Amino acid sequence: MKLVNRYIDKDGRGRMGLVPDEGEDMWHTYNIIAAGDRLRATTIRKVLQESATGSSTSSRVRTTITIQVEAVTFDTGACMLRVKGRNVEENRYIKMGAYHTVDLEPNRKFTLFKEEWDSVAIERVDSACDPTKHADLAAVIMQEGLAFVCLITSAMTVDRAKIDVNIPKKGKADDTQRKKAVAKFFDQVTAAILRHLNFEVVKAVIVASPGFVKDQFFEYLMKNAVQTDNKLLQENRGKFVLLHSSSGFKHSLREILEDPNIAVRLADTKAAGETKALQQFMNILGTDPDRAYYGIKHVERANDSQAIETLLVSDTLFRSSDIDERRRYVRLVDSVKENGGDVKIFSSLHVSGEQLDQMTGVAALLRFPMPEIEEEDHALDSDPE
């Protein structure tokens, strides 16, 4: 993400001009734009023109529009945002108050105006504009005949390719036919790796499967690299990490990222940091529940006592259309930081974020046990009123 200009006054009101560089930046943009903001960007508008004779012709014109945002949708496949709202500035082609949808995509500048740039939005912009915080992990999750090639960025898990090849089962086809199908499958997975992985950025490539499919594929990959003199694969051989998974489907990523064997290799990636924090929370919830709470009321109660060591919060909560609800979570984040706690904001497009969303979207690890939080709840439940 490139920051073109920025002006925010002492009350938090202001604007930022931004240019998203890639798909991950579009996810950041989706989390920054909120209902009530004003968005200025170029757009295409269909215009009807009437001639002196009364006939009309339509043409498409490019114009700059400023809309008051009402709704934002994110197309993960196209990495594009559709922002709907009413026009709030005079425009030659669009009437004041008329509805229009602006499409935002990589490498297209936009300016965002907010009545209040809160700390979470500003931090997200700063993070997106920091080139050191980009994706550096890839994964190939596979089983016989099925594979997913994924990029795991700091914000989301993105499917880059799905390979599905019918491989005859052993005993139901001759050995030659089966070998040809397996080779075709491995060739397609190899092609997807070469097409979608940037080895200058990627620090590790997880290859995971049930059984020995991963081992057979990696052996085939490296043998093929020697035969075709593919220096890229040969030089990056050390980045491949073979792991067991329960299946060849994407949901297996969660168990893979929790594997201690991979933790050291991924210690400096944000994705691993979030996964580790969530795993630690789940462990303590099971062994020392008075130090692990989830749900906004319990977490706020712990924060009132300055007890939060690590706050886990989903970015879903900052996209709420309820301004007061958004502010509530921003205040919580700011307060935990002021009290010396660590805050981890999880992406709902990441497997760890999906798991956190299932637990209300907010959780906290405490510095010390607070059994009174649970006791107060029990007292309220048993109060006959």
Dihedral of CA 355/359/365/369: which sign? negative
Could you tell me if 243 and 326 lie in one domain?
A: no
How buried is 273 (Cβ within 10 angstroms: 0-12 exposed, 13-18 middle, 19+ buried)?
middle
Could you tell me if 84 and 61 lie in one domain?
A: yes
CATH, residue 110 = 2.30.30.870
Across 79-231, where does the E strand assignment appear? 80-87, 99-104, 110-114, 137-143, 146-152, 157-164, 204-209
CATH, residue 231 = 3.30.420.60
Cα-based angle 60, 66, 67 (whole degrees, multiple of 5): 100
Asked whether the whole model's pTM tops 0.75, one would answer no
Could you tell me if 255 and 290 lie in one domain?
A: no
Domain count, the chain: 3
- Residue that has been written with the tokens 């049930």 in this structure: 210
Q: Give the domain-ending residue among 98, 116, 133.
A: 133
Please report, as a single letter, which amino acid is at residue 303: N
Could you tell me if 15 and 125 lie in one domain?
A: yes
Helix, strand, coil percentages (3-state) for the chain, rounded to 5, are 40, 30, 30
Could you tell me if 122 and 144 lie in one domain?
A: no
Could you tell me if 79 and 116 lie in one domain?
A: yes
Distance CA 276, CA 132 (A): 20
Could you tell me if 277 and 359 lie in one domain?
A: yes
Determine the pLDDT at residue 57: 74
Q: How many CB atoms lie within 10 A of CB 385?
A: 3
Distance CA 142, CA 134 (A): 25
Q: Give the domain-ending residue among 104, 133, 162.
A: 133
Could you tell me if 335 and 352 lie in one domain?
A: yes
Segments of the chain scoring below 50 in pLDDT: 132, 385
Could you tell me if 239 and 147 lie in one domain?
A: yes
Could you tell me if 141 and 129 lie in one domain?
A: no
- Do residues 331 and 350 lie in contact, with contact meaning Cβ atoms separated by under 8 Å? no
CATH, residue 275 = 3.30.1330.30
Determine the pLDDT at residue 75: 85
Could you tell me if 160 and 245 lie in one domain?
A: yes
Dihedral of CA 254/362/27/153: which sign? negative
- Do residues 324 and 130 lie in contact, with contact meaning Cβ atoms separated by under 8 Å? no
Q: Give the domain-ending residue among 133, 161, 179.
A: 133
Determine the pLDDT at residue 381: 53
Where in the sequence is the domain holding 70, given as residue range(s)?
Answer: 2-133
- Residue 251 vs residues 145, 294, 336: alpha-carbon distances, Å: 17, 23, 31
